[in-house]
Chains A and B, each alone.
Chain A
């Protein structure tokens, strides 16, 4: 398998459209890297540059230390699985998997060995004689994976491979891809716009927006310590609550005013606000829905962090309840225990876990403190 190095990668199209800007990333051997971001953020373009399907306008791409900028896709030792895969309808599973190797004029016995190996990994051995029409959606997807596996590539590139599957199958295939990564010990780069897919699959995630890398980190770190407002809002579902908060420093201690509520902040966050010169300025306060507790759930809360609000919507998801309410001019969500007695229209008391709040600069949108 292989390591990849992307140094200052740029993609500028002939019409001046700057799709990828100064992309820098080192991918270690056997890593499972996810490119995630909204539509049009440049994640697929970056993947296609790695594949050789798009020319690289600037920067250097190396695979295993070898510069690949001008190497033909077929000579990069990669395999791809894209969203709109198609199996050849008149061919058996075996022939579908073998076809790419036949095109490369590989000897028959070698093809046979590779197909059977891949089929074993993917649990497709008993289906090798079937035609695609006789397969379920998940089995077809596995055949598509099999076509990539038989190539025995250095790097697997996947562009939203699960997007055309229904929700249930997507979850199942997610687990299978994760298992596949462990079994193959392969370097994989996976593009998705779905943050849940990103969080569950990747060893590291690259969050992109408008062609620019926002943050590269482990799923846990992205969730707990986003580097800016965009990452904070993009990662996590339901998304982080945001509200404007005015900073006031008195006696060496900072407080945040949201609407008519004054919130005390912890000592480290207070220091970050004072050191950053935010006294008298407005910042953005972010708090994840699970860090907003209904009072019964959070007995020990600082009374300064307790707020009152009217529940606008009650949403039971089985294992948890989402409560929607307005606070400080923003719509907020609380993720609470399903045993809560609160219902739509009720006056509720919520405690904000001030230890878990995130503060962002309103102008630059960069994180002040997590």
Chain B
């Protein structure tokens, strides 16, 4: 094989004959080979001219250039490393070594946006995310699985946290989101991701975002936290599409309860007859009643029902549970019980 090299000097180890040296380059090359060479230049910065004078030689040259591209991609694949880092706990030296090799900044404030779609995310959605973060796309976009993609967004233009900046993502002392400008910016970015995917890719997504974290080594724990936010959001706040991992309210508390404690609480409320799921009509009525601060007239009006029907339904709940929803404490207990029931019905198989 002979190949002419431009800058920098480069030699391909040839395993086939027939490629001519400089000066004997074929006048025309297939579009495929041209494209492969262009891709190689984009990936490596290396320009190659390949001289071939027979179609089979060109085929071999094409295969070799493609292998080169693939090897380079593999070696400098940010996505794969970040994906590993996201889902696994890697040893610190490995993280540092890989980050150095891939020229990834380890110490940099970042926030993780985790996007989840009900159905498989189409290529177009990933393409849109790349375009939204053009300068960071190769280092920030992390496909997790077919329905999830993460964006480890570097806050290069935002204020750094106070010097004490703890390295723990969940640590309130090191929480950059105390800076309202940063919080607003991050939330705005999250909204933009959702709205752009809605309007451009025409897909419905949920998004959870993390606290600001300061080193790449935290990515795994941040991912766990952000995944939990998506899970809790789906479970307790299905009407919302945006969740902040640092503010999950009572949902986090209930999610963190041991199953045995949950079971006991449910037994206390329903005795031995814990329902598999709440009656949809009753739940809709009770929820409206709670939303209206236990106001019977307003709830009846909103539900277009006679107040006696509403009272009958409230009495039904009282018969089943002993809880009088007109009483604040009982209403609160019922609300918690339904959240726990929801949590138990959707618990992780490992807990069962």
Contacts and interface: CB of A to CB of B under 8 A. Distances in A.
Given A17-B239, A364-B301, A84 B288 contact: no
Contacts of A217: none
A14 B236 CA distance: 8
Contacts of A22: 304
A310 to B, nearest CB: 35
A15 interface: yes
A83 interface: yes
Contact of B342 (A15, A48, A72, A80): A15
B195 A103 contact: no
Contacts of A210: 288, 291-292, 302
Nearest to B132: A86
A363 B297 contact: yes
A13 B236 CA distance: 10
A99 B284 CA distance: 42
Interface stretch (A88-96, A112-120, A250-258): A88-96
B204 interface: yes
B198 interface: yes
Interface string B142-159: 000000000000000000
In this complex, the member of A100, A103, A147, A363 whose beta carbon has the largest number of chain B beta carbons within 10 angstroms is A103
Interface string B281-293: 0011011100110
A274 interface: no
Given A19-B239, A21-B303, A88 B131 contact: yes
Contact of B199 (A13, A16, A81): A81
Interface string A1-39: 000000000001111111101100000000000000000
Q: How large is the interface on B (under 10, 10 to 19, 20 to 34, 35 or more residues)?
A: 35 or more
Nearest to B303: A21
A168 interface: no
B328 interface: no
Contacts of B131: 88, 90-91, 99
Interface residues of A, number: 42
A82 B191 CA distance: 10
A90 to B, nearest CB: 4
B192 A84 contact: yes
A82 B195 contact: yes
A74 B339 CA distance: 35
A72 B124 CA distance: 15
In this complex, the member of B196, B236, B342 whose beta carbon has the largest number of chain A beta carbons within 10 angstroms is B196
A175 interface: no
B338 A82 contact: no
A211 interface: yes
In this complex, the member of A18, A89, A90, A211 whose beta carbon has the largest number of chain B beta carbons within 10 angstroms is A18
A72 B287 CA distance: 30
Given A18-B284, A21-B303, A84 B124 contact: no
A16 B304 contact: no
The 9 closest A-B pairs by CB, nearest first: A16-B283, A82-B195, A84-B191, A73-B202, A84-B195, A53-B204, A88-B131, A90-B134, A80-B199
Interface of A: 12-19, 21-22, 45, 48, 51-54, 72-74, 79-86, 88-91, 99-100, 103, 147-148, 210-212, 363-365
Interface of B: 124, 127, 131-132, 134, 188, 191-192, 194-196, 198-204, 236-239, 278, 280, 283-284, 286-288, 291-292, 297, 301-304, 338-339, 342
11 contacts: A14-B342, A52-B204, A72-B202, A73-B203, A74-B202, A83-B195, A86-B132, A86-B195, A210-B288, A210-B292, A212-B304
